[in-house]
Amino acid sequence: MCGIVGQISNEKFVITDTVNALKRLEYRGYDSVGVATMEGDIYKDIGHISPFMAMLPLVATNAAICHTRWATHGKVTKENAHPHASFDGSIFLVHNGIIENHKELKKKLSISGIEFVSKTDTEVIAHYIAYEIQSGLSIVDAIRSFMGVAQGTFAVLLLHKEEQRIYAFKRDSPLVLGILDDGFIVASDIYAFSDKSPKAVFFDDDEYAIISPDSYEFFSAKGPIQKQVTEVTWTGTVEKDASFEHYMIKEIHEQPAAARRLLASLEGEQSKNMNELATIARSIDRILFVAAGTSYHASLIGVYILNSIGVEAHTLIASEFHNYMLADEHALVIAISQSGETMDVVKAVKHARSKGAKVASIVNVPHSTIQRLSDFSIEILAGQEICVASTKTYTNQVIALLRLAQLMGFETDLSTIPDDISKVIESSEAYVMELARTMKDTHDIYIIGRGISYPVSREVALKLKEISYIHAEGMMGGELKHGTIALIEEGVIVFAFIQGPDYDMLSNIEEVEVRGANVIMIADNPNFSPDFLLSLGTMSAFPIAATIIGQLFSYYIAKEKGLPIDKPRNLAKSVTVK
């Protein structure tokens, strides 16, 4: 979840340069931030990066590491913020991941007289390595020793005081080296340096690197290894149009362009990959999707469409995939992830591969871990999402799944989808803003759907929870009477999504209306006189267009409440812990 960046160069640079690179990863966490230099200067504080940068002194160095935190172990305090220093002041490091046996390691170090100043698992790493060095090991052997005893996940950047080197090592958590003209950047994500260089070297599990200003060396447990330099391309941008107050609304409005970009690619440079994926899918017994959050809701749409044409397909939340899904040589597992680094999805993919399943992926970030673990991969080309809430990623994930289904026999015209999205935003935004003004004090919203609108209900509920801080439940309309209807009372808001002539949904609406619910209907059937009529060029656009209405409601309700829309509390965009 956390973002880490290290920078090293023969020429001195100001530490704000390194923190600027970190700011490009702030979507990974924004509870606290900190930076350390090779000279031993440490600056850290709670809160976001921008105010922290404003108070940083203009310190110059040849090597620095920094960190933006999403808290897992230890509350959000200055003491718990990274970087952490060793007991003797010789080691400074930042860490993304979770050391699962940190309590056991901490107990052993405490018996040796080492005192801890934070409540984090990360501080254990610094003390352990410093203790091993004092016991006679070299710094490299101390790092190897830690990697041998550590359980859990980690990407670590380490400075040894006064030494012009960055030591980097990882297991499961993402880490990549960027090659600059005047040195190197090592980070959680290519986006930290994609504005400076396209040259990247990706770490694999249980590898470590020694990075100097003009060279780098990679090692595994067996010794030195040669690594491939990858030329990366990335459609992301951090620029925010001044006409948009928040990134979320900017990204909602970017969806037509993102959809056009993907459709063109699926017909062009990615057509070969997509055709090969469809060929594999036709030859396999069953398709198993694995995803989390918004990506899971997109996968539900894929399951619905594929089953409608007789293709056996299932999906499951990634964290439970190994418990409930049979992945073997007869299955094609399709992993869906915005970042391509979601830890639960990575674990599920590794499990599927170990069972002999073919693995494909649908990702937004190129060269990510999940893509590199896949036999086939489709890039959705949504571009960088700065807001924690996924909007254009969801849309392009659904389009990619529609294209796969189309190649397998699903009859549809995808070419109208970008214009359909534009029309929905243009025709709905003003009315959503009007209704949102009356909904800012709402505590509960229930969202119902059937068939292809059921995944929409789940996704809209998620957006209302994460952005508007409203308790929202998305459910199948038929399940209302099995418990939830007991919560329907006078004035409760119910969103109803209806695709086509679904009269069962009308019955569900009547069930809540007679109990006093205020129903907002979103439908593509004019005979139902919906509050929002979706006039679409293709039925396939419905789950996208309907969800966009929900995105707009989530945004404008949150805006009415004065909430931190782009950085909602307790959330991070890239979930790299289990």
Catalytic positions, written as ranges:
2, 573
Tell me the CA end-to-end span of the chain in Å, nearest whole number: 10
DSSP per-residue string spanning 561-576 = HT--TTS-TT--SS--
Single out the residue of 51, 19, 14 nearest to residue 35, CA to CA.
19
The percent of the chain in helix, strand and coil, each rounded to the nearest 5, is 40, 25, 35
Tell me the residue type at 372. Answer: R
Using DSSP's 3-state secondary structure scheme, residue 371 falls into helix
| 42/54 Cα distance (integer angstroms) | 16
Beta strand 42-46 with 207-212 is: unpaired
Contacts of 220 (CB under 8 A, 6+ apart): 206, 207
Q: Where are the alpha helices (DSSP H) in 336-391?
A: 343-354, 369-372
Q: Which residues pair with 13 in a beta bridge?
A: 61
Please give the C-alpha separations between residue 409 and each of 183, 263, 282, in angstroms, as whole numbers. 51, 18, 10
Angle at 154 between CA 153 and CA 155, to 5 degrees: 145
Torsion of CA 144, 150, 151, 154, to 10 degrees: -70
Q: Is 338 exposed, middle or buried (0-12, 13-18, 19+ CB in 10 A)?
A: buried
Single out the residue of 366, 442, 380 nearest to residue 191, CA to CA.
366
Does residue 83 have a cis peptide bond before it, meaning omega lies within 30 degrees of 0?
yes
